[in-house]
Amino acid sequence: MVFRLEYPNTVENLTADSTDLLKFSFKIENSERPHQAMVVFQSQDEFQDEIMVAASVRSSGKGRFELNFAKADRKFKYGTRKYSMTFLLGGFTIDEPFKYTLGEIEVQAPTVNPATRPSRVEYKSQPEIHHQFRPDQKLINKAISGAFTLLVLTPFAALFIIWSQLGIKFEPLKSLVRKPLDLVAAIVFFASLIGIEYVFYSYWTHVTLFPVLRYLSVLSLVAIVSGRSVLTLVQARRLQRTAGSAKKQS
């Protein structure tokens, strides 16, 4: 069966079965050439199934469409149904796609191995989800925590006691007192170290990561500059002491 259509005419009383082949040729007489064409089949029942089949189109405006119902979409086999056929054309320079309703076609269900429509999915509200947060972690008793803190500080206390018994003298500190600039460098160096330790303590207790990185970048630079001066002074004093010992032995 052959039909010849001119826009906007439609085709009527068109039927097909599972063994038929539907062919459709067209020609676009327009300066704007389309780049994509398709035919949309929509079932005229409660399901409103849509089946899109691409059509080939050339730069000359000629194109063709071919549909083998035996190898077509499975939805065509869900019983005998009527479908509306809509021809769509689109392109890169076309703002609104061209739409042409070709008519209706009745596709009969196959007599052998008919397809079974899957059960219709019904969407409904589900029971409300109540999120439960994990309970807060139990902390160690303050008395136990304090006891272990004192236990950690015990070696430092023992170290200072042993130093006092041995009579250790901090002679480099005396030499620093004689030179104000070196004394300032030493104070800045030890203060920067204390500041770094305090930043670590703050990060452990209440400060977030990014402020900690900002503070550490400044304190580390101060510690490097002032520490270099202090270590240079200590090295010079050590070399001076070594030279004095060598003179006494000679």
Q: What is the largest CA-CA distance in the chain?
A: 128
Report how far residue 81's alpha carbon sits from residue 108's, in angstroms, rounded to the nearest whole number.
Answer: 7
Tokens 């200590």 correspond to 234
Average pLDDT, the chain: 82
Percent with pLDDT over 70 in the chain: 88
**Tens of pLDDT, residues 226-240:** 888 888 877 877 787
Is 16:105 a contact under the CB 8 Å cutoff?
yes
Q: Above pLDDT 90, what percent of the chain?
A: 16
Structure-token pair, residue 45: 């029942």
Strands 36-43 vs 81-90: parallel, antiparallel or unpaired: antiparallel
Q: pLDDT tens-digit profile of 130-173?
A: 888 888 778 778 888 889 888 988 988 888 888 778 766 655 55
> What is d(CA 20, CA 8) in angstroms, rounded to the nearest whole number?
26
In angstroms, the Cα distances linking 232 to 176, 180, 229, 236, 237 are 12, 15, 5, 6, 9
**Interval 78-130: pLDDT, tens:** 888 899 999 988 877 777 778 888 999 998 887 777 777 777 677 788 888 88
User: Is 90 exceeded by the pLDDT of residue 216?
Assistant: yes
Quickly state the pLDDT bin for 250 (edges 50, 70, 90): low
Could you please report the per-residue DSSP string of 64-127? EEEEETTSS-GGGGSSSEEEEEEEEEE-TT-SS-EEEEEEEEEEPPPSSSPPPPPPPP---PPP
**Alpha carbon distance 89, 38 (integer Å):** 7
- The rounded distance, in Å, linking the Cα atoms of 131 and 129 is 6
Average pLDDT over every residue of 25-42: 81
Per-residue model confidence (pLDDT) at position 1: 64
Q: Are 34 and 54 contacting, i.e. CB atoms less than 8 angstroms apart? A: no
CB atoms within 10 A of CB 112: 5
